[in-house]
Every structure is written in structure tokens, then in C-alpha cells.
Amino acid sequence: MEAIHNEEAKSYFSRELLTWYRRIKRDLPWRMNQDPYRVWVSEIMLQQTRVDTVIPYYERFMNKFPTVRALAEAPEEEVLKCWEGLGYYSRARNLQAGAREVVQRYGGIVPDDKAAVAGLKGVGPYTTGAIMSIAFNRPEPAVDGNVMRVLSRYFCLEDDIAKPATRVGIEKLAQSLIPKGAAGDFNQALMELGALVCTPKSPSCLPCPVMEHCSARWAGRETELPIKTKAKPPRPEKRVAVIITGTGAYEGKILVRQRPDTGLLAQMWELPHLLVPKDQEPLIDAADQSESNASTAEAGEWLTRSMEAETGLLIRPDRWLMDADHVFSHIHWKMRIYLADLGLDAIGATGASLAAETAAAYETGSLRSEYRWIGPEDMETLAFPNVFIRILREYWT
């Protein structure tokens, strides 16, 4: 990071950007006032998530949990349900943990104190600066991807913005640019410019309020900057999921389970599924939509054995239903979904009259606690990842 920047270019940038922002800023729900709780919730939702995606979630969330105390006192599952589909679900849990901490330690008032805010769960360097500047107008930098892009271009910085050290350097630069008494507006102006004008692919330089002194523009390098190392592609995982239909008392219901409370999609509900080992992928791929051939039967047998070994459920695959792909930032699920029922014959039931009894035994006895029978109406209370929402919607229609 260069130690010296042109002071003239810097003061011009700060002045023109702030003026521009105050003229054109968007009317967003979290800009209604500077309530620190509203700012906090918005900043957590906006982490790695676009404004247009956040808006409806934000409205629902603030309606349901209008105050720090309301959020702190809510059941965790309701918070997770309200976050359903937004992704990065630990944000929701951390936000509520933070709300509970604010209630216990600060009497329900978000403290006007950098160290205290930075200590809240889920609040890192960016969010600390955003809350301190927007809610309290403190001169703290709030450096996100937009800001790194804008400043990399304006000052023609060639540091790799994927490296943490680069963000630290840009934070110092960003702080030095904050106009006196206008931290909140200026930080939002930087992000507004990045979102609306100085966009990643094809920046709109002509309407840009600071084009005149933009180093990258003068060098004709605005599309080359910022420099960022490429992310690794997500690793592929072949998975087989099953829609297990109930019988007897559970007629019309299917079996779902809740994920562990840490890790990927923690505490979300899902269809039972398992990872297909690399050497078994050909077997699963060979089974296709064709009614009943040898390869389909083989795949079904493999599924039955593997499901019992991993989940304790003795299932009886019926037929292939659909395939579904789901891409996380680090994993690519290639899912094959089968219809099945519980292998009642195999566990001793000889007639349909025993079906309900056997199924009940699954619920009270050998059915592990994370499993539940649900109908379509239960989708309104349990939180599912989008991939399973899509599959179940398809199944029930």
C-alpha cells in the first residue's frame, strides 16, 4: 500500500462523493432512521447479499422482531424460519446471540462503543465500522467489496483484494477520506457508488461523480481493477436423497430430519440423503428414469443398504423421482431423488393393518429423534434450505 496519496485527489473525492450521495441516495428501509438495531440487522443481512434480495427479508424480520428485546426473547427456530432462503444461517443465530448479549450486558441498548460493538457475535471489522458510522456517526471505516473495488480503481491500487492485509490497508485509506462529521453518509456513499456506478464488470464512468480524478480511468484500466485471485471451484458431491412416504397413521406424510446444530445448514430441516462414494457413482448414474432395469434395481439395493447403515432406516425404494443440483460456494451437490417407503415387510409386518403400528414404532422407538413425519402444512413452521423447498414443492404438486 502506498504511504502517500495525492491530497488534492483525496479531498476532491470525499467532497464530490458525499455531495453526489446526498442528491441521489436510494430510499431503503434501513435508511428510515438511524436506530442502531435497525442498522445492525440490515448490515448482518447485507453480508454477501444484494440489496434487492434483502429488502423483503428485512421488512418481515423487523415486523416480527421490532426491537433488540423482541429478538432476544424469540424462540431460535422462529428466527431461523424468518431467515429461510437468505443463506449463511449462522448469521441469524449470531445476530440473536448478539441481541441477547445486548439485553443482558447493556440493558437492551446497542452501545455507542466500538469495542463493545465489535465484540458482538457475527460482527466483524466491516460491520463494526458500518454500525459505528451509520448509527452513531463515528469516523470508522466500513470496508466491504464495494469499497475495495472503488478505492482500488480511484487510486489505482494493485494489491490483491482477496488478501486480508489489503483490506487492512484500504481501511486506513478509507478512514483518512471520511469528511468531518459525515462518516455515516460518506461510508454509505462509497458503497452506493460501488453498487450503482463503479460496478464490477462494466463501470458507468461517465455519470461517475469522481471520474475526473480517477487514476484507473486515466490509465484506461478501470476494467482491470481491482486485482483479485480466483476462488477454487466447488468440489462436486454426488448425493442420493429419498422421499419416504408414510402409511397408516402417516399416510400422506413424508419423513424429514433436522441437521446437526453446527456446520453446513446447521439446524435446518432436510430430506434424508447420503453421500455416494466416488467408486459407487457409476452405479447411481446408471440408474435412470426407465421403469425397471437391472441397473435401477442395483442402485436401489445399494441405497437400501447404505441408508440403513447410516441412518438406521430400513427403506424400500420405489422409483426415481427427479435430479436436483445445488451449488454452495465450496460444494456442488448433484442430487438424485428417489421415492421410497419403509420396508415394512422386511421388518416383520405381514399385512396392511400392521403398517400404522410399525410406523408408530419408528416414531417412538427406533426412529431417531432428529426425524419427523410432516405434511405440506409443516413447511410453514420448519426452516428448509432452498434446494429441499424446491424438491418438496415439486413433489406435493
Partner DNA sequence: AACTCGGGGGT
Partner DNA sequence: ACCCCAGAGTT
For the annotated catalytic residues, the residue numbers are: 43
Q: Which stretch binds DNA (CB under 7 A): 47-55, 67-75, 169-177, 346-354?
A: 47-55
Residue 388, CA distances (Å) to 243, 251, 272, 285 in order = 11, 21, 10, 21
Q: According to the binding rule CB under 7 A, does residue 194 interact with DNA? A: yes
Q: According to the binding rule CB under 7 A, does residue 52 interact with DNA? A: yes
Among 256, 272, 248, CA closest to 344: 248
The number of helix segments (H) and strand segments (E) in the chain equals 16, 7
Q: Which is nearer to DNA, 194 or 300 (CB)?
A: 194
Classify the phi-psi angles of 46: left when phi > 0, otherwise alpha if psi is within -120 to 50, otherwise beta.
alpha
Q: According to the binding rule CB under 7 A, does residue 165 interact with DNA? A: yes
Q: According to the binding rule CB under 7 A, does residue 29 interact with DNA? A: no
Determine which residue in the list 87, 108, 248, 343 makes contact with DNA, applying CB under 7 A: 87
**Binding residues for DNA restricted to 208-247, rule: CB under 7 A:** 228, 230-233
Rg, the chain, Cα only: 26
Determine which residue in the list 1, 32, 109, 264 makes contact with DNA, applying CB under 7 A: 264
Q: According to the binding rule CB under 7 A, does residue 23 interact with DNA? A: no
**Binding residues for DNA restricted to 119-158, rule: CB under 7 A:** 121-128, 130, 144-146, 148-149
Residue 342, CA distances (Å) to 250, 288, 333 in order = 11, 22, 25
Output the smallest distance, CB 289 to DNA, in A: 21
Angle at 96 between CA 90 and CA 101, to 5 degrees: 125
Determine which residue in the list 7, 33, 261, 263 makes contact with DNA, applying CB under 7 A: 263
Output the smallest distance, CB 146 to DNA, in A: 5
Q: According to the binding rule CB under 7 A, does residue 328 interact with DNA? A: yes
Provide the H-helix boundaries in 197-315: 215-219, 281-286, 294-311
Determine which residue in the list 18, 46, 157, 303 makes contact with DNA, applying CB under 7 A: 46
Residue 295, CA distances (Å) to 14, 298, 301, 302 in order = 67, 5, 10, 11
Q: Which is nearer to DNA, 20 or 89 (CB)?
A: 89
Q: Which is nearer to DNA, 168 or 219 (CB)?
A: 168
Cell of 205: 464512468
What letter does residue 184 receive in the DSSP assignment? H
Q: Which is nearer to DNA, 268 or 307 (CB)?
A: 268
Q: According to the binding rule CB under 7 A, does residue 381 interact with DNA? A: no
| Residue 158: HSE in the Cβ half-sphere, 13 Å Cα cutoff | 2
Q: According to the binding rule CB under 7 A, does residue 22 interact with DNA? A: no
Q: Which is nearer to DNA, 270 or 341 (CB)?
A: 270
Contacts of 21 (CB under 8 A, 6+ apart): 185, 186, 188, 189, 192, 193
Output the smallest distance, CB 76 to DNA, in A: 15
The rounded distance, in Å, linking the Cα atoms of 173 and 151 is 9
Place of cell 486480508: 164
Determine which residue in the list 177, 344, 385, 391 makes contact with DNA, applying CB under 7 A: 385
My answer on whether omega of the bond before 282 falls inside 30° of 0, hence cis, is no
Question: What is the distance of C-alpha 158 from the center of its chain?
Answer: 30
Q: According to the binding rule CB under 7 A, does residue 386 interact with DNA? A: yes
**Helix (H, G, I), strand (E, B), or coil: what is residue 201?**
coil
Output the smallest distance, CB 159 to DNA, in A: 11
Applying CB under 7 A, the site for DNA has a residue count of 61
Q: Are 265 and 308 in contact (CB under 8 A)?
A: no
Q: According to the binding rule CB under 7 A, does residue 283 interact with DNA? A: no
Q: Which residues bind DNA (CB under 7 A)?
A: 28, 42-43, 46-53, 85-90, 94, 121-128, 130, 144-146, 148-149, 163-165, 188, 191-192, 194-195, 199-202, 228, 230-233, 263-266, 326-330, 385-387
